[in-house]
């Protein structure tokens, strides 16, 4: 008989570990305990079942207990909650749905209990049905309400990716949806100006997006809920979903005396061992090392959970493996847009006081002369002196996924903006440009680092008084119509050389165009004609407008 491995939680991390263990060792005794009804279900697909984009419920069930038994010879016990871990005895206590309690011993224990949706004690929350989205039964309930009760209105509390996905799928069913978000932006991994692109889009899709306002109380009124916000505004909703984030499930680990980190996740080392060497932990429940900062972080994503499950299996099977860290590469569909991020964002860098620089590029998803290209907005964050890529955020409707993955690969290898320039990427007009948006981001970043262009950020420009600076809009008449920075003077780029005499030499000059490219040309012209106090607006009007006026 081989080793005996028990696994708590049968979804992303747990099921991955189990399957890999079996592939490596035919003799091992492997038991998965899952307190719910399903294992290995598609958490990430749940919102799309409500709209019918994922039409078949069975499609959400990636693997079944029977399938795991037949294919992997794994003993899967559903409706079985692990209620205690006794590390000294190397034993767990299991409670079945029928109340029966029994013990099981182990050589190795893997904890993959995930993270639970937050449910703050907001007044009235227990009087209403505050729905959550974590598992198949949760989504069954939401779908049942939408199918049978035909709600007219819904409120989604929380503007993270789960909240946004739910809003989109409810709206697709004809339910008028409000998103209530306490901070000033949706999608926290993005910085404000990138989220601002989404705000406009979400609004245009008919969602009532409420920002900078939290829920003060819930009250039941017949079949609806009255949601009173901190501002005093009241929102009436037939359906209320709480999606304000998750917190690691650590009850078992804590009661077993395992070390818990400052952020509230289970502490593990690079071998994913907890403070007890026979107990491993993976997935949303653990604190991981942030690949960029080296600090402990909570990054609840499916990719890391699956990878950690595999690594733990390797380690238990005697292989040399380790988990190096998480960089938080993520993407979400937000109606017709995709929003993606990897690495660290500007908010976090300024909090940690790590020096950085930022470039914005707004490229075409593929060659502009080939029909159908759309804008890909890239925010690249990099080290000021060494050009090391620290993070990226991309919003657009096409080709966002491949660009974020290119940059994620470079970040994983601790690469620089020069590596982004060098990437040789697949090109034909229907797919990309000879200089891919990722290459472009690298070039623009180098221009900034080299001092070929001095930039001003939208936050800085917004704070300046119109009298203190001379702002030149170098776009065309058509582009400027009704949409320009107040106080700016219009000098199209092609006329700039002829109108140099109109420009002050004793004032700071800011040039801007639509996306930053003609602004850069204007900068080069002006600085070579003796103007020394010139800056180009980083990302141009396309970055400035949603961030300042959106
Ligand atoms: C709606 C939704 C959409 C998502 N979309 C994405 C996405 O697009 N991309 C992405 O990267 N991530 C996404 N995620 C996050 C992703 O699903 C998680 O990061 C991943 O599933 C974490 O894996 P895990 O094994 O740690 O936990 P889980 O997959 O949550 O599994 C934990 C399991 O453990 C069980 N359990 C807990 N305690 C016990 C116990 N004591 N005894 C027995 N069983 C127990 C739970 O019932 C649960 O089934 C999404 C999550 C949700 C909810």
Residue 466 has what pLDDT?
77
CA of 11 to the centre of ligand 1 (A): 6
Cα 220-225-226 angle, rounded to 5 deg: 95
Encoding tokens for residue 450?
């080299």
Q: Are 393 and 198 in contact (CB under 8 A)?
A: no
- Residues assigned a catalytic role: 44
User: CA-CA distance, 348 to 90, in Å (whole number)?
Assistant: 40
CA of 115 to the centre of ligand 1 (A): 6
Q: Please, what sign has the CA dihedral across residues 62, 65, 68, 71? A: negative
Q: Rounded distance, CA 400 to CA 394, Å?
A: 6
CA distance 508 to 522: 14
User: pTM for the whole thing?
Assistant: 0.97
Cβ atoms within 10 Å, residue 360: 25
Alpha-carbon distances, residue 511 vs 329, 454, 460, 469, 484 (angstroms): 34, 11, 14, 10, 12
Query: Distances in Å between the alpha carbon of 2 and those of 8, 35, 76, 77, 521?
Result: 19, 26, 18, 20, 69
Handedness of CA 475, 476, 478, 482 (dihedral sign): positive
| Substitution candidate for ligand 1 out of 305, 306, 400 with most atoms within 8 A of CB | 305
Q: How distant, in Å, are the alpha carbons of 87, 408, 487, 502 from that of 377?
A: 51, 16, 26, 33
* Nearest C-alpha neighbor of 17 from the set 110, 139, 103, 115: 110
Q: Which atom of ligand 1 is nearest to the CA of 38?
A: 49
Token digits of residue 235:
């929102």
How many other C-beta atoms are found inside a 10 Å radius of the C-beta of residue 241? 27
- Count CB atoms within 10 A of the CB of residue 159: 28
Ligand 1, closest atom to CA 81? Answer: 42
Could you tell me which of 276, 231, 261 has the C-alpha nearest to residue 85?
A: 276
**For residues 473 and 491, is the Cβ–Cβ distance under 8 A?**
yes
Are the C-beta atoms of residues 50 and 166 closer than 8 Å to each other? yes
Residues 59-90 as b or e (16 or more Cβ within 10 Å = b): ebbbbbbeebeeebebbbbbebbbeebebeeb
Position 496 scores a pLDDT of: 98
What is d(CA 61, CA 43) in angstroms, rounded to the nearest whole number?
Answer: 9
Q: State the pairing for strand pair 176-180/153-157.
A: parallel
Residues 346 and 354: their CA atoms lie apart, in Å, by 10
Are 353 and 370 contacting, i.e. CB atoms less than 8 angstroms apart? Answer: no
Q: HEC string of 387-417?
A: CEEEEEEEEECCCHHHHHHHHHHHHHCCCEH
Q: 46: Cβ below 6 Å to ligand 1?
A: yes
Task: Spell out, as residue ranges, where the chain has pLDDT lower than 50.
Answer: none
Q: How far apart are CA 466 and CA 464, in angstroms?
A: 6
Closest residue by CA, ligand 1 atom 15: 301
Given this model, what pLDDT does residue 550 score? 80
Q: How far apart are CA 383 and CA 358, in angstroms?
A: 9
CA–CA distance, 238 with 243 (Å, rounded to integer)? 16
Ligand 1 centroid distance, CA of 504 (Å): 60
For residue 432 the two structure tokens come to: 């990309």
DSSP characters for 333-359? EETTEEEEEEE--HHHHHHHT---EEE
pLDDT at 172: 97
pLDDT digits (tens, 9 = 90+) for 452-500: 999 999 999 999 987 889 999 999 999 999 899 999 999 999 999 999 9
Closest ligand 1 atom, CA of 332?
Answer: 8
Write the CB contacts of 315 (distance below 8 Å, at least 6 apart in sequence).
271, 272, 280, 321, 322
Q: 3: how many CB neighbours lie within 10 A of its CB?
A: 16
Pocket flag, ligand 1, residue 8 (CB < 6 Å):
yes
283 touches ligand 1 (CB under 6 Å): yes
174 in Cβ contact with 59 (< 8 Å): no
> Helix or strand or coil: residue 229?
strand
Q: What angle do CA 73, 79, 85 make, to 5 degrees?
A: 85
**47 within ligand 1 shell (Cβ under 6 A):** yes
For ligand 1, the distance from its centroid to the CA atom of residue 104, given in whole angstroms, is 24
């Amino acid at each position: 008989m081989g080793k005996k491995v028990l696994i708590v939680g049968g979804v992303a991390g747990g099921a991955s570990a189990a399957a890999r263990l079996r592939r490596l060792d035919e003799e091992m005794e492997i038991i998965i305990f899952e307190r719910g009804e399903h294992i290995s279900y598609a958490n990430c697909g749940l919102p799309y079942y409500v709209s019918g984009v994922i039409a078949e419920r069975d499609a959400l069930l990636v693997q079944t207990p029977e399938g795991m038994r037949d294919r992997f010879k794994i003993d899967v016990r559903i409706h079985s909650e692990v209620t205690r871990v006794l590390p000294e005895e190397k034993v767990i206590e299991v409670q079945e749905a029928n109340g029966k309690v029994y013990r099981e011993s182990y050589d190795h224990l893997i904890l993959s209990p995930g993270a639970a949706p937050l449910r703050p004690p907001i007044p009235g929350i227990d009087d209403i049905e505050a729905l959550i989205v974590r598992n198949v039964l949760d989504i069954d309930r939401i779908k049942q309400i939408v199918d049978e009760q035909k709600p007219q209105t819904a409120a989604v509390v929380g503007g993270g990716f789960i909240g946004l996905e739910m809003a989109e799928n409810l709206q697709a069913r004809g339910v008028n949806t409000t998103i209530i978000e306490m901070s000033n932006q949706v999608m926290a991994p993005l910085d404000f100006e990138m989220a601002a692109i989404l705000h406009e889009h979400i609004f245009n899709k008919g969602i009532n997006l409420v920002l900078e306002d939290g829920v003060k109380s819930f009250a039941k009124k017949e079949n609806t809920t009255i949601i009173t916000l901190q501002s005093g505004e009241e929102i009436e909703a037939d359906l209320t979903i709480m999606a304000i984030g998750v917190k690691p499930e650590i009850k078992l680990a804590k009661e077993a005396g395992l070390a818990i980190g400052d952020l509230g996740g289970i502490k593990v080392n690079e071998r994913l061992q907890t403070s007890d060497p026979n107990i491993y932990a993976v997935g949303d429940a653990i604190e991981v090392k942030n690949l960029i900062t080296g600090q402990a972080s909570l990054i609840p994503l499916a990719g890391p959970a699956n990878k950690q499950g595999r690594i733990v299996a390797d380690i238990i099977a005697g292989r040399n493996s380790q988990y190096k860290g998480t960089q938080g590469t993520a993407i979400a569909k937000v109606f017709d847009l995709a929003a993606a991020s990897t690495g660290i964002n500007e908010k976090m860098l300024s909090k940690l006081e790590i020096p950085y620089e930022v470039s914005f590029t707004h490229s075409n998803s593929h060659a502009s002369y080939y029909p159908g290209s759309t804008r890909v907005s890239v925010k690249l964050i990099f080290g000021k002196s060494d050009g090391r890529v620290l993070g990226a955020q991309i919003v657009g409707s096409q080709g966002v996924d491949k660009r974020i993955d290119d940059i994620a690969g470079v970040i994983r290898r601790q690469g620089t903006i020069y590596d982004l320039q060098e990437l040789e990427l697949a090109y034909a007009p229907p797919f990309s440009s000879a200089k891919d948006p990722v290459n472009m981001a690298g070039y623009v970043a180098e221009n900034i680092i080299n001092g070929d262009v001095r930039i001003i950020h939208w936050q800085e420009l917004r704070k300046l008084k119109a009298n203190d600076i001379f702002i030149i809009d170098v776009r065309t008449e058509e582009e400027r119509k009704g949409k320009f920075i107040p106080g700016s003077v219009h000098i199209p780029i092609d006329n700039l050389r002829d109108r140099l005499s109109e420009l002050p030499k004793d004032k700071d000059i800011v040039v801007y165009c639509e996306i930053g490219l003609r602004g850069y040309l204007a900068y080069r012209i002006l600085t070579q004609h003796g103007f020394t106090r010139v800056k180009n607006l980083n990302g141009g009007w396309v970055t400035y407008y949603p961030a300042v006026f959106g």
